[in-house]
């Protein structure tokens, strides 16, 4: 390459242009691009949610790790965004914080512009828009939004990292999410059981919390990234109550 384009490459190495194909084969003025850099870190954690007629139970474990080691043991993954809505987020913690900052800003802007509090449905939709905006470089965040709708009914929204969301009666997300879904299917919805409808116990808050605790205990036995403590938030019209349970610390 001619000397003029050498200096051009050196100058461009500090800009966004340095991912241009032609630079990769050039001389060592651009050798400091690490092609093995992974922008995402997996910080573990599990979140579950169970929605009832007039309540929602959302829970998370409190272990915070990276792929090699446990970093924190009392690290909550639940954020109260509105008086009656709580978001549980796991995945890449840097993305969780970045996304949370955005969501909090949008909530405040909404409430100032509209002069009224934001509803859970509006928040759920707004989160989808915020996540889809980064469709081609997503937030690696697995979200569960739990809250009461305008009529006081328990609502649970589950998301994928690019914003798809739907209302579900129960869900589990995070490292042990796939492991816990069959348990919740079995215990909350009585799927794949032979229990006739009249013998199925009603889904009360007590039962939902009990199922949640059992689920986390199960997950912490098998999954290495889940453990330490479970933090449970019970959202009702009266407010948000907290419960917790200790798990194995190994």
Partner 1 sequence: MFRSHYDSDVTVWSPQGRLHQVEYAMEAVNLGTATVALKTEDFAVLVALCKPSSELGISLPKIISIDSHVGISIAGITADARLLSRYLRTECLSYKHSYSTIYPVQRLVTNLGNKLQITTQRYDRRPYGVGMLLAGYDEKGAHIYQVMPSANVLICKAMAIGARSQGSRTYLERNLSEFKTSSMHDIIVHGIQAVSRACPLDEELKIAVGIVGKDQPFKLLSSVECDAYLELAKTSERHETPPETPAETVEPSAVPSDIDPTSTGFSEEI
Integer Cα distance of 225 and 41 in angstroms: 14
Work out how close the CB of 139 gets to partner 1 at its nearest, in angstroms, rounded to a whole number.
Answer: 16
| 105 scored as a contact of partner 1 (CB under 8 A) | yes
Q: Are strands 46-51 and 56-61 parallel, antiparallel or unpaired?
A: antiparallel
Work out how close the CB of 101 gets to partner 1 at its nearest, in angstroms, rounded to a whole number.
Answer: 5
| 109 scored as a contact of partner 1 (CB under 8 A) | yes
| 117 scored as a contact of partner 1 (CB under 8 A) | no
List the helix and strand counts (H, then E) for the chain. 6, 12
Integer Cα distance of 226 and 102 in angstroms: 27
> Which parts of 41-183 are beta strand (E)?
46-51, 56-61, 64-65, 70-72, 78-82, 85-91, 141-148, 154-159, 165-167, 170-174
Judged by CB under 8 A, which stretch of 35-43, 99-107, 123-131, 136-144 contacts partner 1? 99-107
Size of the site for partner 1 (CB under 8 A): 8
Work out how close the CB of 77 gets to partner 1 at its nearest, in angstroms, rounded to a whole number.
Answer: 19
Contacts with partner 1, 64-83, as mask; x by CB under 8 A: --------------------
- Which residues sit at the interface with partner 1, rule CB under 8 A? 101, 104-105, 108-109, 112-113, 115
């Amino acid at each position: 390459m001619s000397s003029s384009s050498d200096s051009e490459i050196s100058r461009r190495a500090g800009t966004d242009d340095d991912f241009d194909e032609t630079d990769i084969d050039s001389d060592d003025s651009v050798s400091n691009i690490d092609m093995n850099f992974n922008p995402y870190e997996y910080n573990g954690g599990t979140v579950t949610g169970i929605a009832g007629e007039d309540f929602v139970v959302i829970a998370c474990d409190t272990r915070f790790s990276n792929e090699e080691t446990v970093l924190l043991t009392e690290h909550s993954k639940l954020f109260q965004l509105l008086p009656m809505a709580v978001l549980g987020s796991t995945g890449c913690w840097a993305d969780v914080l970045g996304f949370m900052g955005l969501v909090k800003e949008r909530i405040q802007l909404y409430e100032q512009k509209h002069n009224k509090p934001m509803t859970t449905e509006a928040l759920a939709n707004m989160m989808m828009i915020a996540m889809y905006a980064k469709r081609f470089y997503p937030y690696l965040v697995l979200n569960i939004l739990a809250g009461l709708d305008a009529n006081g009914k328990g609502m649970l929204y589950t998301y994928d990292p690019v914003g798809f969301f739907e209302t579900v009666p129960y869900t589990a997300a995070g490292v042990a999410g796939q492991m816990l879904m069959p348990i919740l299917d079995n215990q909350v919805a009585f799927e794949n059981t032979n229990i006739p409808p009249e013998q199925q116990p009603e889904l009360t808050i007590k039962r939902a919390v009990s199922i949640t605790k059992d689920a986390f205990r199960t997950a912490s036995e098998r999954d290495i990234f889940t453990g330490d403590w479970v933090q449970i938030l019970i959202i009702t019209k009266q407010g948000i109550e907290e419960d917790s349970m200790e798990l194995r610390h190994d």
